[in-house]
Structure 1
Amino acid sequence: MLLESYYTKSGDLVRISAQQASTFAKQQCHDFNPIHDPDNKRFCVPGDLLFSLALTVYGVSESMSFTFTNMVGDSMGLVFPEADGDKIVITNELGKSVLEIDKKGSTCHDPALIESLIKNYVLFSGQNFPTLLMPLMKKHNVMFNPARPLVMYNSMSFEFDSLVLNNPLHVELADSYFEVEPKRAHNFLHFNIFDGQKVIGRGVKKMIVAGLKPYEHDVISAFSDAYELRRSAF
């Protein structure tokens, strides 16, 4: 199983250690966001790992939306309830919502489809910085604070025309844009889901970029270069 090394289960609780979360981010997403480093004071479990676990538990529906409501810390117990309707709320062991899911249409539990969607989506999702985010920050003359980078997963949604695959699935960027506020920006990544050469689904990922400051090309480029060195070293 793709995810079995990235979590542990004890009774009804799922726990993800900081090391498991960091390894998933780096191995599966190629995501080196410092917020997923085990020693980061603001460490949180990657949203892509919570998304992946949810698909494993609940399957892939024709229409699904995922809203990340609270950060998940090191080894915090998570409750994945039985799905008895189109609304699912995943909570931590304190009863606080961490991920809310809305789904519609038929649901597929084919392990091949689920694993293919997880692998391809999280790899696409991990491209956000620097590949996709750098040009948008430059265009809007803003950037995050490299000393305290805070880029957070807010939500994602997708819709499928068909849940039957005839060819390998892959995910590609369709469009990306920024909505800038005084201290933060909303980063939207629209994507298409392909069955071979045919588009069979589409979706959007929304990120929040906090702590905005005026764009400084040399400063953010140095941060990007250091990020790429970490990725290459891994």
Structure 2
Amino acid sequence: MIDVRSFNSLGGANHGWLDAKHHFSFASYNDPKRMGWGALRVWNDDTIAAGTGFPPHPHSDMEIITYVREGAITHEDSLGNKGRTEAGDVQVMSAGTGIRHAEYNAEPQATRIFQIWIIPDGERKAPSWGTRPFPKGARSGQFVTLASGMPGDGDALPIRTDARVLGASVKAGETVEYTLGEGRFAYMVPAEGSVEINGKTLNKGDGAAIRDETTLRITASADAELVLVDSAA
């Protein structure tokens, strides 16, 4: 089953400094049919104006993954962490028992991000934060795991949940495949380009909610940058 959610069908709000699109119910956008997908709870497509950002605010009990599409995001938190994550790279904040953080676009141009929240599992732990570069060349024509709480993904940023976040760059005409385990949920969005996934067309910004599909076969009709979440129920 693949349910395509077109970019134009997403909820959202434009706050001036922030133009946000929501794949799932978030803030003032509420759709009972889009409350999450497996353990995936939030997927926001955010455009943040230059010199603005999210002021300090608290979180707990959530794995928050930020995939930077354009520009860069600068992070500060109550643990004393500070860092800048550039386009194509990823940061992870495990909110755990509680953390305050701020995310700012200190760049001279707009920054675009995917903000992905996944529900943690297991024992509550102290919060943590980390970032790392993921060269796009390494994911050319294949999926690379960017963040994971699953066995065997040791090079990825750690998250505290039975899920992984993957990225792939696919040239027009190329095909990549991903095997989805039994009972797993997947959600995929092209950050750029357009693709066909198991016979369904996805354009830039569209979401695909996937389950009961053993193999995902994805062919790019235009050069594409893909982000995929594979999670437990």
> Shorter-chain-normalised TM-score: which range?
under 0.3
TM-score by length of 1: 0.28
Which has the greater radius of gyration? 1
Higher helix share: 1
Higher strand share: 2
TM-score by length of 2: 0.28
